[in-house]
Every structure is written in C-alpha cells, then in structure tokens.
Amino acid sequence: MSTATQLIHSIPVDPLTGAISVPIYQTSTFVQEAPGVNKGYDYARTGNPTRAILEQLIAQLEKGSTGIAFASGLAAIDAIVKLLKTGDEILAVDDIYGGAFRLFTNVYDKFGIKVTFVDTSDVEAVFNAVTPNTKLIWLETPTNPTLKISDIEAIAKIAKANNSLLCVDNTFASPVLQQPIPLGADIVIHSATKYLGGHSDLIAGLVVTKDKEIGDKIKYIQNACGAILAPFDSWLAIRGIETLHLRIKQHCTSALTIAEYLEQHPAVDKVFYPGLKTHPNHDIAKKQSKGFGGIISFSLKNDTEAAAIEFVTNTGLFKLAESLGGIKSLVSHPANMTHKSIPAEKRRAAGVKDSLIRLSIGLEDAEDLINDLDNTFEKIKQQTAKKETAELSAC
Ligand SMILES: *Cc1c(COP(=O)(O)O)cnc(C)c1O
C-alpha cells in the first residue's frame, strides 16, 4: 500500500459511533469508576483522545515510537531543551529559526545551558565543534531562510559517537519529503503551524522520538509543564495532515518552476532553492529527501533593505506575512521579520542578506504566481525609473 493510502486509513473511524471524522473530545476531565480506575484518561492535560490520535499519527508518519503534541512549535522545542541540565551544551545550525535562537540564547543562557552555532551543512565543522558537554545537536534542514541542507545521516554518526542527542526540526521538509529518524536522528520536531496544519489557521508543535524511553521523558515534561495542544487544534492538525501528501506534491512542483523563473530574471542576484542544480547542497538534498519543498529565497541585484521592502509591499497574490506552508502564497523579508531577533552581523554572516526575500509557494496556479512576480518586478522598475527622472530634474 502506498504511504498516502496508509496515512489516510491510519486515522481511525470512531469505534463508539462510526463517525468518519475524528471526534473532538472537548472535556477537561473524565469520570472514574473508582479512584484510579478509568478508561485510559483521567485529566485532559495528561491525555485527551483527540490529541492522542494526532500523536499516534505523527509518530507513524515520522517512523518513530512516540508522538507528543504541544501548543506551538516553540513549546515543542522548549520541552526538548528541558531534557538538558546546567552545564550541558547545544550545538545548533547557524541559520536557525529566529524563535529557536531567542529561546536558546535569551531564555536558557541564564540556566547555564550554552549554545554554539555552526554551519551544519559542513559535516567536518560539526565534527570539530562538538565537545564532551554537547548533549544536543540541533539541525534544521532545509534551513530558514537560506535553505541550506545538512547531512542527517553523517551528523547522526557524530552525535552517536559523542553521546549527544540529535534533534531535527523537520518543519520545512515535512515527513512526506524527509524522515530524519530512519536516517539516525533521535528526535524530530515540527511547527505544525506550517505544512502539517497547512491552512494558516493553527498554531501547534509536534515532537516524535525514535525511542520510547526519551518519548516518555518528553511526555512527562508535556504533562509537568503543561504546554499541551487543545482538542480542537489537535483536530485541525489531523485534518491538515490528511491532505499533506497532495499539498506537498503541488508545493514542490510549483516551487521548482518558480525557482527556475527567478534564476533567469535580470533583477535577481541569487536564488536559494535546493532543487536547483546550482544549489551548493543539491546532491545531499537529493539523497536524503524525496523532494525539495515549497520555500524559495532570493536576493536582489540591488542589495538594499529598501529594495526588498519595495518588492514585498508590491506583490498581489503573494501576501506579506510571517509563516509559511499554507494554501495561500506568502512573501516575507526575513531581516525585518522572522530573523529580526538575530543580531545583524550574525544574520549577515549566516547568509541572510539585507535584500533577501522569502517566498512560501502556496497552492495557486504556478503560472499565476509567476505573473504576479513578473508584475512586481516591472512595477518596481518603473517606480525606480520615475524616481531617477525626478532626481535628475531636481538637479
Ligand atoms: C515557525 C517555526 C518554528 C516555531 O513554531 P511556532 O509554531 O511558530 O511556535 C520552529 N521552527 C521552524 C523551522 C519554523 O518555521
């Protein structure tokens, strides 16, 4: 059976009523026959049947043992950091999601957890950067927003030899394209806010562990700290995942077409898309994933913040917004939006230029999206020409 068929039929029909859609158990507590005697649930922070189906579903999709659902992607990341103790170190990808950077550096530094950033697309750099105190290696692949790819299998070997856990933030790829656990990762996390939810109507985070033992530890943290995903939001995430295969396929096809269009455009300096042969990590992307995803970044020949802002405020179909992975295409300016919490020098060193623009390719027709980008480039060209004429006549 294909994975798509398996996925759709692994979401159970309700045994009580035959409801084909998963029921939303909107309840805080469960009646017990005698103290401690119950039907598997006692209090809805600890466990909820709707959430449990989502947790089983993501564990199955990522080929892990345990799934754990949180109120946001960051709550999921936070739960993993809580496996560590004072003196432990995190080795993280340099081109990291801004919120994860903020959490690691501004919240956990005062608890004595040190974080080092390294270009993880360079396996040797990872090998050289681990220390005996590195207890967690943190990858995002592809990264946000420069779409660097790290070799999960090779870094898993380094992690294992060093007794470190390897966690992969698989938000950008989704389990349809890439499964880090079979490649050797211990933990996978998702911002289900993005592709898994898929409709820009949900904030959610998911964790999957390879081993049950680590899964149980994170489940303990989920209950002890309480950042659980609500029943209705769990249902939204399940509903999103039901169409994940189909959506990802379309995101990938359209993104490649648009990346090729951008690559030949005279106003574009550089296009970042792992599906392009010119991408420095194209080979490893091809080896470890089934497709290249729906995110494209590009910089402009006119490498100024002003030029990027002019572009992102003049698109039509592409809506200017944070986030990604939904049905509507989005455009963003990472330096001023998602990556604002990263200091400018650090951001530039990680390859996020001032003019870098990120696109999340939605499910509109690719041709319409290309026309929209084309119109935007044309509009900017005319505005620039007009400005230059005005400046000349002012002289
Ligand atoms: C959005 C995002 C997160 C954070 O998830 P939230 O659901 O917004 O808390 C983490 N990692 C990546 C790669 C993201 O894109």
DSSP H helices in the chain: 3-10, 49-61, 73-81, 98-102, 123-129, 152-161, 174-177, 212-225, 231-242, 244-263, 282-288, 305-312, 344-349, 366-394
Ligand 1 atom at shortest distance from the alpha carbon of 193: 7
Per-residue pLDDT averaged across 17-31, rounded? 97
- Return the biggest CA–CA distance within the chain: 89
Instruction: Output the CA 96–ligand 1 centroid distance in Å.
Output: 10
Count of domains forming the chain: 2
Model confidence at 352, in pLDDT bands (50, 70, 90)?
Answer: confident
**Ligand 1 atom 1 nearest Cα:** 191
Which one of 184, 208, 242 terminates a domain?
242
Which one of 202, 219, 242 terminates a domain?
242
User: What share of the chain in percent tops pLDDT 90?
Assistant: 87
Using one digit for the tens of pLDDT, what is the confidence trace for 28-71? 999 999 999 999 999 999 999 999 999 999 999 999 999 999 99
Instruction: Output the CA 191–ligand 1 centroid distance in Å.
Output: 4
- The answer to whether 390 and 328 are in contact (CB under 8 A) is no
pLDDT of 384 strictly over 90: no
Which one of 213, 242, 271 terminates a domain?
242
- Nearest in space to 271 (alpha carbons), one of 333, 371, 358: 358
- Nearest in space to 80 (alpha carbons), one of 193, 169, 194, 183: 169
Burial 316-334 (b: 16+ CB within 10 A, else e): ebbbeeebbbbeebbbbbb
User: What DSSP element (H or E) covers 187?
Assistant: strand 187-191
| pLDDT value for 150 | 98
Same domain, 117 and 139: yes
Please give the Cα distance from 297 to 95 (Å, whole number): 13
Instruction: Output the CA 170–ligand 1 centroid distance in Å.
Output: 10
45 catalytic, yes or no? yes
pLDDT of 190 strictly over 90: yes
Q: Are strands 187-191 and 165-169 parallel, antiparallel or unpaired?
A: parallel
Same domain, 233 and 262: no
Same domain, 206 and 274: no
Same domain, 259 and 158: no
Q: Residues 285, 288, 292, CA angle at the centre, nearest 5°?
A: 45
Using one digit for the tens of pLDDT, what is the confidence trace for 158-175? 999 999 999 999 999 999
Ligand 1 atom at shortest distance from the alpha carbon of 75: 9
User: What share of the chain in percent tops pLDDT 70?
Assistant: 100
Same domain, 253 and 182: no
pLDDT of 22 strictly over 90: yes
Same domain, 217 and 290: no
Ligand 1 atom at shortest distance from the alpha carbon of 144: 13
Pocket test of ligand 1: the residue of 150, 191, 202, 330 to mutate, having most ligand atoms within 8 Å of its CB, is 191
354 catalytic, yes or no? no
Which residues' Cβ are closer than 6 Å to ligand 1?
72-74, 97, 99-100, 140, 144, 169, 171-172, 191, 193-194, 203, 205
**Ligand 1 atom 6 nearest Cα:** 73
Which of 135, 194, 210, 270 is flagged as catalytic? Answer: 194
Same domain, 221 and 311: no
Per-residue pLDDT averaged across 356-375, rounded? 98
Please give the Cα distance from 194 to 105 (Å, whole number): 24
Same domain, 325 and 376: yes
Which of 45, 63, 102, 157 is flagged as catalytic? Answer: 45
Same domain, 259 and 383: yes
Q: How many CB atoms lie within 10 A of CB 57?
A: 24
Ligand 1 atom at shortest distance from the alpha carbon of 171: 13
- The answer to whether 134 and 91 are in contact (CB under 8 A) is yes
Per-residue pLDDT averaged across 102-108, rounded? 96
Q: The domain spanning residue 286 has which CATH number?
A: 3.90.1150.10
| pLDDT value for 294 | 98
| pLDDT value for 139 | 98
Model confidence at 4, in pLDDT bands (50, 70, 90)?
Answer: confident
Contacts of 162 by beta carbon, 8 Å cutoff, 6+ apart:
130, 132, 134
Q: The domain spanning residue 86 has which CATH number?
A: 3.40.640.10
Same domain, 287 and 209: no
Amino acid letter, residue 169: D
Same domain, 167 and 253: no
The whole-model pTM stands at: 0.95
- Structural domain for 316, as ranges: 245-394
51 catalytic, yes or no? no
Pocket test of ligand 1: the residue of 171, 199, 203, 228 to mutate, having most ligand atoms within 8 Å of its CB, is 171
Pocket test of ligand 1: the residue of 95, 172, 194, 339 to mutate, having most ligand atoms within 8 Å of its CB, is 194
Same domain, 123 and 186: yes
Using one digit for the tens of pLDDT, what is the confidence trace for 292-333? 999 999 999 999 999 999 999 999 999 999 999 999 999 999
97 catalytic, yes or no? yes
